[in-house]
């Protein structure tokens, strides 16, 4: 499963890319608002693309098809790694089809149902982003959605990749792996929770303490 970092924070992106922990980046307007400050978001997208050798999702702001197409084309020109993110609306699906016919990859975002995911796949989406954490937030079962979309995409051999989004904790990642999701995007905090284990830390301390007692060099 591909692991994407859900942030526009360049320091976090450099750290994770340098450790080879990530396969791509997702951003959204809220994450860009937190990270950009006075900088031009397009410059930040370019810098992210030069840092990470993989898909970098950049979201349109327009809500009508023609302006989404125009923004999507501008975003795609920034770098080959850019995947244009459009919302799961009627216009978003029209824009998805249009951008795909021009060879531009599209991530359809804000997906909350199997029927939405099905329509996005039919519109040629490269990625579908179901927001599991936001479903859990309103007492739903976000991961059920992932299992159902997996089944539908397999039933009909859709090539759209399931990109589990709005991940809140490592169990969301475990479930994504077990359900056969293609990608999972997560905030930096969750990424580092994936590799931490208290028994690893305890074991390492004990090994180092014993070596110290031995008093030898390697
Ligand atoms: C996905 O692409 C979104 O950027 C993201 O996962 C949303 O997560 P949130 O619900 O924690 O804001």
For the chain, the structural domain boundaries read 2-214
Could you tell me the fold of the domain covering 2-214? TIM Barrel (3.20.20)
The preferred substitution site among 28, 32, 108 for testing ligand 1, maximizing ligand atoms within 8 Å of CB, is: 28
Q: Is the pLDDT of residue 52 over 90?
A: yes
The one catalytic residue in 2, 50, 85, 213 is 85
Q: Is the pLDDT of residue 202 over 90?
A: yes
pLDDT of 104 reads 98
Centre of ligand 1 to C-alpha 74, Å, is 23
Instruction: Quickly state the pLDDT bin for 90 (edges 50, 70, 90).
Output: very high
Distances (CA, A) of 206 to 7, 200, 213: 36, 10, 11
State pTM to two decimals.
0.96
């Amino acid at each position: 499963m591909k692991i994407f970092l859900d942030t526009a924070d360049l320091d976090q992106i450099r750290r994770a890319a340098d450790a080879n922990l990530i396969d791509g980046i997702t951003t959204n307007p809220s994450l860009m608002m937190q990270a950009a400050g006075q900088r031009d978001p397009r410059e930040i997208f370019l810098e992210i693309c030069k840092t990470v050798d993989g898909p970098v999702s950049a979201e349109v702001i327009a809500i009508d098809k023609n302006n989404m197409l125009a923004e999507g084309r501008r975003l795609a020109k920034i770098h080959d790694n850019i995947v244009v993110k459009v919302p799961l609306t009627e216009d978003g699906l029209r824009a998805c089809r249009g951008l795909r016919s021009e060879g531009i990859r599209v991530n359809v975002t804000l997906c909350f149902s199997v029927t939405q995911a099905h329509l996005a796949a039919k519109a040629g989406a490269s990625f579908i982003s179901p927001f599991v954490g936001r479903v859990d937030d309103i007492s739903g079962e976000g991961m059920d959605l992932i299992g159902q979309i997996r089944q539908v995409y397999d039933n009909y051999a859709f090539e759209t990749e399931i990109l589990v989004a709005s991940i809140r904790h490592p169990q969301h990642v475990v479930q994504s792996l077990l359900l056969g999701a293609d990608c999972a995007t997560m905030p930096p905090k969750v990424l580092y929770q994936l590799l931490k284990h208290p028994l690893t830390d305890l074991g390492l301390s004990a090994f180092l303490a014993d070596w110290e007692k031995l008093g030898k060099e390697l």
